[in-house]
Structure 1
Amino acid sequence: MAISGGFIIGAISNKKCLVDKKIADNVTLCNIISITLIAGIGIIGFTSILMLISANTSEVFFELSAFESNYLTSYTAPDRETTLIGTGLIDVRLNFINEDRKAYAQTANESVDHTDSNLNVPQIPMPNVTDPNLKVELVASDLKYPTTMAFVGKDDLLVLEKNNGTIKRIVNGNLLDEPILDLNVANKIERGLLGIDVARQTLDNATGEKTYVYVYYTQAIKDGDDMCSTFTLCNPLGNRIYRFEWTGNELINPNLILDLPVGPGADHNGGVIKVGPDGNIYALVGDGDSCWEDKYCSTSTYEDSVVNAESSNVPTGNPPDGRGGILSISPFGEPMLGGENKTTGILADHSPLNKYFAYGVRNGFGLAFDPISNKLWDSENGPGYGDEINIVEPGFNSGWLRVMGWWPVENAQPLPPERGYFGSKMVTIPNNLETFADKGRYSSPEFAWNMSVGVTALEFLKNDTLGSQYQNDLFAADYNNDYLYNFKLNEDRNRLDLDGVLADKVANNNAELDDLVFGQGFGIATDIREGPDGYLYVLSHIHGNLYRIVPK
């Protein structure tokens, strides 16, 4: 926090100095004063963080995510570049502790592989699950900030590495040395290589059924070329979805099927994608908003920001541009037809609004289809309060920026000093929503956290391999607590089966989550997948590990 404080104080003093002097000759002096302040406070803060890390790494993660959400600070050593990024959700980085990841990953016997004897890092215990009849196994390690994964065969899966743009392959628990594919990605804050899914489909009757791989990433001319101070000079090419063919060893024949705008800021990109039971591709795309602080939007005002949009429930705002919702497209990038006589998109007949399956989404990292009802569920992240789990019907309006969870949004960019909504208002039907000629419909969340936990991945477990009590349950993960959750659904599969203190669909504090906690300590799970073997696989963003939950 002291590091962020140094930057904030330095920025304020610099601005004050320049305002007071108002002559160009004093700009250099002002900058020197500001840099001195930043360096002094920054060194103290950096030293404090190192002390905290040696004592308790998880506390550092919590501190950054809970209280410094959306702040970016950088530290550069002569031999490496280090970035601490606290988005409040996903991207807290401690690269300077272990750049090559090897000494930070558990081996199969739960020890630490100290490939560098001079590297002083904490022992990382294996994750745990609450069911005494289950255990956690380490499948693979040495991944670098993985985001999502998808199986291309039994004991054969592809994993995305966010910052490198590399798609790695794990076969029978072995991480192959060479990536399957290396893509050029912009990787600032929440940009990067973000989403993947796989499907066996027949897209051409002449060639028959093939395995197709869909990838969502922030495309750039070269890796990391958005890491500069002037947004207009280094904006990425776009947030894009490509369809590849999987030959069994290679990804070939890339086809661009969705091209979305990106910028001016670098967060709220979403990126999770799933191939639905209907064969369409569903992508959760954040609202693209980084305008909570002037430096992320240059001189733009709120009226010029991307969140001032009809898709964010501003009826007088800008037309939708593909962000702030869940999009549904065919494998060829065409809109999913709905509306009257199935001849138009769900909300409109023109692009890109005809691609929206849902809107009013701030940001999120979880999509999952119920294996029984085929209904889509999502997870969404609030601004310090109001994280959600929703059932998503066609035309669903999630309510942002009028409501998050059950609580009103009273400021376009609320960044509360602490997590939680502490007002007295609750909202069941928000006012002044955009309905797109009554084709959009708002519904309240099926579950909400008053204090944001940074909910991430979702997955349904359709098999009974872990026990019949878990079959067809919904599993979720979060950032701040590093929990895995187990949610049961009611018989009609249209809501979560909640009782006791959670009967109101709200977790007011962590104590109320106890009955939902299934596991803990996975190192920020950014993806959960059921494998072909029926076991639950969990991808650790911070540890760089792939875990599997199996019976004892």
Structure 2
Amino acid sequence: MNYNIVLLIGFLYSALLCVVMIFSQNFVYATLNLEKLPTVNDSSIGVKEIGKGLPDSISNIDFLDRNNILALGKTSGEIYLISNEILQPNPVLNLNVSGEVERGLLGIAIEKDPFSIDSINQTIYNELGTSVYLYFTEIHDGNLTHNRLYKYDWNGSRLINPHLILNLPLPPGPHHNGGELAMGPDGFLYVTIGDYEHIGDYRHNGILQNIKNGTAPDDTGVILRLNGSDGSQPIDNPFFSNNTGDPLGKYFGYGIRNSFGISFDPITGKLWESENGPESYDEINILNPGFNGGWKIVHGPISRTNSTLANLTQLHGAKYIDPVFSWKIPVGITGIDFMKSSKLGTKYLNNLFVGDFNNGNLYHLMVNKTRTGLNFDDIPGLQDLVADNNLEQSPIVFGTGFGRITDVKTGPDGLLYVVDYGYGKIDDNPPVHRIFKLYPK
């Protein structure tokens, strides 16, 4: 499982292996000060909670414009509107979802013009989203479940006119369903799909999982690149096929275990991805067209494994590249975004913020001058591109106390938003799910 948090589910998976999960609704913290806000290590930046009273854990958010946010209720299938930082009383859409474990309402992308920044990088102008893409585990036709991608229209108060873009062929596993969405600067829609792992049942041992002579491609462990209008394959996809029935034509790359965050570099347009490891090595990757992420043969730097490139299953034109950064001890890495504004300070502009689920840490990472990796010139312990322990990762911890982070995004107002999935029921208190806004004091 991806977030490496102890999960009590009523059976013993292994005497030696702790079962871990991200979306347990029964996770109980003995002590938790719900009134205390997260802290950051920059005294010029404040943190406040917005959208108070969210009734469900939030998997992802996106922005209609600088005043309006859509927030996804992971388990309920409800989509909440936060206007001017206030949660509105009625959901803008109710979906019939299977929300168990990592299934649910998982991904959102709003089709809009690229961010615009003024000459001194101080203002991100208003944006209005007209089309909203949603990825969720839908219950349909009685009791069937599939992960599906729909396109909706926003009419100013509701999401209307659902149009099915993609129906994934396999019934979803309880784990590794993916669902992160992003509109690329090229105008195409990018979709992450995990390897659909079932605890104790590693059924997806296919070519896409780097198993030689494995099962045929089945849309698991991939990132898709699609025409948003109809879900078709762009002709410049790395594995483009004139055969519209060939699944490879939709793939931007493969060899993914499970990702909970993708973001495009605003300077280069390159896609960056956060990826959960198994018992070791969470990753940050730069994904070029035709990438092979290495899973299930390699996770973390290949030099730290017993494998070589010859052990991977390389489709024609595919290429493996090591992560640009790894955590040897997984932290449950999730949301990732480039700060597209200097409103919090010029040193943050076009650099990365990344959240984790296990510790509630928010990390700040500097991109190198060529934007081909990260800059650790002043952090000797990370110059091997691996945080081997908590001491080594401490210089990149920017904030703490953010709960269980599922999303990190720059808003059209130029500020940073962090989503806390919440802690479920705590003693006699109702569940607590929060969204934080970082702002200049």
Helix, strand or coil: the match of 2:311?
Answer: coil
Report the CA distance between 1:354 and its aligned residue: 0.8
Report the CA distance between 1:95 and its aligned residue: 7.2
Which residue pairs with 1:72 in the alignment? 9
Q: Within the alignment, does 1:150 sit opposite 2:48 as a pair?
A: no
Q: Within the alignment, does 1:381 sit opposite 2:276 as a pair?
A: yes
Q: Within the alignment, does 1:466 sit opposite 2:378 as a pair?
A: no
Change (3 A) 1:528 1:480: same
Report the CA distance between 1:160 and its aligned residue: 0.2
Residues 49, 435 of structure 2: 8 Å contact kept: yes
Q: Within the alignment, does 1:123 sit opposite 2:11 as a pair?
A: no
Which residue pairs with 1:79 in the alignment? none
Equivalence map 1:7-406=2 (5 Å): 66=4, 68=6, 72-73=9-10, 88=20, 90-94=22-26, 122-124=32-34, 125-143=36-54, 144-200=56-112, 211-221=130-140, 235-236=144-145, 238-263=146-171, 265-290=173-198, 292-293=199-200, 297=201, 305=203, 307-331=204-228, 332-338=230-236, 345=240, 350-406=245-301
Deviation per residue, 1:188-219 (Å, 9 max, x gap): 11000000011137xxxxxxx97110100001
Q: Within the alignment, does 1:507 sit opposite 2:393 as a pair?
A: no
Residues 461, 536 of structure 1: 8 Å contact kept: yes
Change (3 A) 1:504 1:218: same
Change (3 A) 1:93 1:153: same
Q: Within the alignment, does 1:430 sit opposite 2:430 as a pair?
A: no
Report the CA distance between 1:261 and its aligned residue: 3.3
Change (3 A) 1:428 1:443: farther
Residues 79, 94 of structure 2: 8 Å contact kept: yes
Moved more, 445-454 or 244-253: 244-253
Structure 2 distance, partners of 1:136, 1:72, is 35
Counterpart AA for 2:65: G
Residues 386, 451 of structure 1: 8 Å contact kept: yes
Structure 1 distance, partners of 2:435, 2:376, is 30
**Unpaired segments of 5 or more residues in structure 2?**
12-17, 114-127, 423-431
**Unpaired segments of 5 or more residues in structure 1?**
1-63, 75-85, 98-119, 202-208, 226-233, 409-424
Counterpart AA for 1:321: D
User: Which of the pair has more CA radius of gyration?
Assistant: 1
Helix, strand or coil: the match of 2:392?
Answer: helix
Structure 2 distance, partners of 1:347, 1:328, is 16
Change (3 A) 1:534 1:87: farther
Residues 525, 539 of structure 1: 8 Å contact kept: yes
Report the CA distance between 1:551 and its aligned residue: 1.1
Change (3 A) 1:436 1:531: same
Change (3 A) 1:346 1:471: farther
Helix, strand or coil: the match of 1:187?
Answer: coil
Helix, strand or coil: the match of 1:403?
Answer: coil
Equivalence map 1:493-532=2 (5 Å): 493-499=371-377, 500-532=380-412
Q: Within the alignment, does 1:482 sit opposite 2:360 as a pair?
A: yes
Residues 153, 532 of structure 1: 8 Å contact kept: yes
Helix, strand or coil: the match of 2:9?
Answer: strand
Counterpart AA for 2:255: G
Report the CA distance between 1:91 and its aligned residue: 1.5
Which residue pairs with 1:448 in the alignment? 326
Residues 347, 395 of structure 1: 8 Å contact kept: no
Moved more, 322-331 or 348-357: 348-357
Change (3 A) 1:533 1:287: same
Change (3 A) 1:346 1:497: farther
Deviation per residue, 1:124-157 (Å, 9 max, x gap): 2211111111110111222211000111012101
Structure 2 distance, partners of 1:350, 1:68, is 41
> Once the two structures are aligned, what percentage of the paired residues are identical?
38
Change (3 A) 1:406 1:139: same
Deviation per residue, 1:274-316 (Å, 9 max, x gap): 01111111011000011x42xxx5xxxx5xx1x2111000121
Which residue pairs with 1:59 in the alignment? none
Of structures 1 and 2, the one with the larger relative CO (CA 8 A, separation 6+) is: 2
The alignment of Structure 1 onto Structure 2 pairs a total of residues equal to: 406
